[in-house]
Structure 1
């Protein structure tokens, strides 16, 4: 009996040391940049989980059992809306939790088409635009009010602060990039289409829509376009972009800059892109 009493006392003590002992409710998103955005809205009231890890490859992502359990047990799942694996995740979860709220974070965005295959395919990299992130943040805030009406005032206040930050960031980028309007930059994978549109720049993708080898004729044509464009910066994704990227740049001679489109620190990655383009040559 004394042993049982001791176990109970220790358990209570551990529970007390851990705080309230109540886990935060969870909301699941698809990608790390979404996690960053949503955390600006919910603060520390929710545990926000992303299916794809920071710096991962969304195009080759296959959800694990643990990932699916995370979605199933969440208060809501917020999709990007145009990521290949998302519909498969929703279909699987609907079988076990048909009442799970699913929200599209990218609704209302003016999509770019034709960069990832045929002219009807939507470019999924919507978060590469500050203007788009402003829309996504507003969508997420409205969705969280549906999930948790009791915290609506808190969510709105957080959105207001985050929107002010985004407005300041966008104004700074526009000021710095205006002298470069009409100029070109290089990428291997077309992941900065929305960024280019926002600031009047031209993105030249040397590789294809997928992180795979491209045909020699196609690569030769892309290299010639790059050399004729005067582009001096080549953005690459370390450990993901094809080995052809290096050999192509040997013939172009652009400055190689590594960035991580799927990094959690979305703002830092945007700064990397803008700083590289505006650096003195």
Structure 2
């Protein structure tokens, strides 16, 4: 006894062929979607690149303008860098005059469809002439969006060394990605929300960890932690200015006066600098030295070369900075 009669078998074959013909366009569409050309998004330097990876994942072609290990203060554009910029759909800048060099090139390619975004849009800027305790100059002024470098006087460009500012930067990058690649907007929003939650959690942790030391001073070589200091009511003092320039004699005197008065209990070095002045002061006044990383250069290069999890790099380094600083303040109080 046959299970299928001949007419039934023919009908089954017809239905199977019809099914394949209906599915074929779907399969082609899926393949086309998988092979769709990804948008190219370039971040000027490493911390912004990390934010970009956390939001965009593999939905874009992410590019980094500065090679890991290169300080943005020492950067100069090469022909290969200009080629990167010219081939991008979106370029993410820090703003606050840090990467004006890239903006100049971006203007030349605006006609080709290249968009730019100031990631620090909405950040309350600190004057370049101020340390963490300064409350005049540009304090309270907000970064002016795409008009990078438009301020009348220079601002402290280290906006990313603040978890609160990082949350603003993530939101600005998210908006730019959604405008550039609306097809993946839902994916970007979901990732950005998870990343922002992690940043907020670490900010809360930092607030609790550093709360006992409100008003305390710390001294760095290069004045890059003013925004961090403001977040947790600390006071940064620096030897060199925010751009890493050699200190004036009046600044050197101020540094010595602070140390002699006992207002500075330890010194902070950075991986990007030789820190000769820090080492000399530490030896002269028997002060301990800790290393904090503003993520602009050397340690970022090490992380990339050793295959560390890049997406967690910003949060990992910020937590390390918080823990080291809290431990140094705690030790100084004993």
Report the TM-score, using the length of structure 2 for normalisation. Answer: 0.71
Q: What is the Cα deviation at residue 94 of structure 1?
A: 3.1
1:122-161 to structure 2, matched below 5 A, reads 122-161=155-194
Q: Secondary structure at the match of 2:157?
A: coil
- Is 1:121 matched up with 2:154? yes
CA distance in 1 between partners of 2:78 and 2:38 (Å): 22
Q: 1:129 to 1:96 in 2, by over 3 A?
A: closer
Aligned twin of 1:102: 116
Q: What is the Cα deviation at residue 213 of structure 1?
A: 3.3
Q: Is the CA contact (8 Å cut-off) linking 1:211 and 1:242 kept in structure 2?
A: no
Aligned twin of 2:23: none
Q: Number of matched residues?
A: 261
Which has the higher Rg, Structure 1 or Structure 2? 2
Q: Secondary structure at the match of 1:188?
A: strand
Q: Is the CA contact (8 Å cut-off) linking 1:233 and 1:276 kept in structure 2?
A: no
- Is 1:184 matched up with 2:217? yes
- Is 1:268 matched up with 2:268? no
CA distance in 1 between partners of 2:67 and 2:269 (Å): 18
Which residue, out of 62, 70, 73, partners 1:56?
70
Give the root-mean-square deviation of aligned CA atoms: 2.4
Q: Is the CA contact (8 Å cut-off) linking 1:113 and 1:123 kept in structure 2?
A: yes
- Is 1:90 matched up with 2:103? yes
Which residue, out of 27, 34, 45, partners 2:59?
45
CA distance in 1 between partners of 2:287 and 2:69 (Å): 24
Q: What is the Cα deviation at residue 36 of structure 1?
A: 0.7
22-31 vs 105-114, greater mean Cα deviation: 22-31
- Is 1:203 matched up with 2:261? no
Q: Deviations over 1:195-245 (max 9, x none)?
A: 000000010112233334334453132122134253333221235255223
Report the TM-score, using the length of structure 1 for normalisation. Answer: 0.84
Q: Secondary structure at the match of 1:211?
A: coil
Unmatched 5+ residue regions in structure 2? 1-33, 138-152, 301-312
Q: What is the Cα deviation at residue 45 of structure 1?
A: 1.5
Q: Deviations over 1:67-118 (max 9, x none)?
A: 111111112001111244x333233343345231011110011111133799
Aligned twin of 1:219: 252
Q: 1:72 to 1:214 in 2, by over 3 A?
A: same
Aligned twin of 2:80: 66
Q: Is the CA contact (8 Å cut-off) linking 1:28 and 1:49 kept in structure 2?
A: yes
CA distance in 2 between partners of 1:229 and 1:266 (Å): 33
CA distance in 2 between partners of 1:81 and 1:217 (Å): 30
CA distance in 1 between partners of 2:187 and 2:259 (Å): 48
Q: 1:27 to 1:226 in 2, by over 3 A?
A: farther
CA distance in 2 between partners of 1:253 and 1:269 (Å): 27
CA distance in 2 between partners of 1:233 and 1:75 (Å): 46
CA distance in 2 between partners of 1:170 and 1:239 (Å): 25
